[in-house]
Amino acid sequence: MSSKNLYQDLILDHATNPRNKEKLNFFNKDTEGFNRLCGDNIHVFIHANNSAIENIGFLGNGCAICIASASLMTETLKGKLETDAIVLINYFLDLVKNKSKEESIKIDKVNQSSLDAFKSIVDFPMRVNCATLPWITAETTIKNKNKKFNIEDYK
C-alpha cells in the first residue's frame, strides 16, 4: 500500500470516527471558529493545568477534511505543554499552506507522520481553510485571544 493510500485512509478514519468529539465536562478555555465559505464550525474546549493541555475536545459540523483535522488535532495536542502545542500547530499550518521554514522544527516522528497525512491539501486551495480551522481555533483557545472568530479574518 502506498503512503498516499495510508494518508487517505487515516483522514477517512478520523472523518468517520472522530476522536474527542465532545464538550468536556470541565474546561477552562474555549473558542468557536467559523469558515463562512464552506460552512464549517468548530468549538474547541481545553482543560489546561499548569500550562499543560490535560484534555481537549471539540464539537462542530463541517466537511470530512475539517472533522478529520479536528480529530487528529485533539489527539496530537492532548497532554502537551501549551508551548509545545503552539509549535505543533505552526508546523501543521505551514505544512498545509506549503510554507517551508528555514529553521528545523523539532517534533516527534509519530506526530510528524500523522500530520503529514494532510500534506496534499495544498493541492486543493479551497480546502486549506477546512483543514486549518480546527488548528487555528485551538491556537486561539490556548492564547485566550477570542471566544469567536471567522477564519477569513484570521491574520
Residues 6+ apart with CB under 8 A from 8: none
| pLDDT tens per residue across span 26-69 | 999 999 999 988 899 999 999 999 999 999 999 999 999 999 99
Which amino acid, one-letter code, is at 130?
A: C
- Amino acid letter for position 34: F
Q: Are 77 and 98 in contact (CB under 8 A)?
A: no
pLDDT surpassing 90 at residue 136: yes
Express as a percent the part of the chain with pLDDT over 70.
Answer: 86
Task: Give the model's pLDDT for residue 122.
Answer: 81
Q: 30: closest CA among 19, 42, 18, 38?
A: 42
Q: What is the mean pLDDT of the chain?
A: 87
Three cell numbers, residue 90: 505552526
Q: Determine the average pLDDT of the residues in 105-131.
A: 78
CB 43 within 8 A of CB 74: no
What is the C-alpha to C-alpha distance for residues 118 and 108, in angstroms, rounded to an integer? 17
**Amino acid 1: pLDDT:** 46
> Rounded mean pLDDT of 68-92?
96
pLDDT at position 10, please? 84
Q: Supply the pLDDT for residue 24.
A: 98
> Cα separations (Å) of 129 from 28, 65, 120?
26, 10, 13
Predicted confidence at residue 100, as pLDDT, reads 61
Write down the pLDDT at residue 107: 63
CA distance 46 to 33: 14
pLDDT for 155:
60
Which residue type occupies 72? L
Domains, the chain: 3-153 (3.90.1010.10)
The model's pTM: 0.89
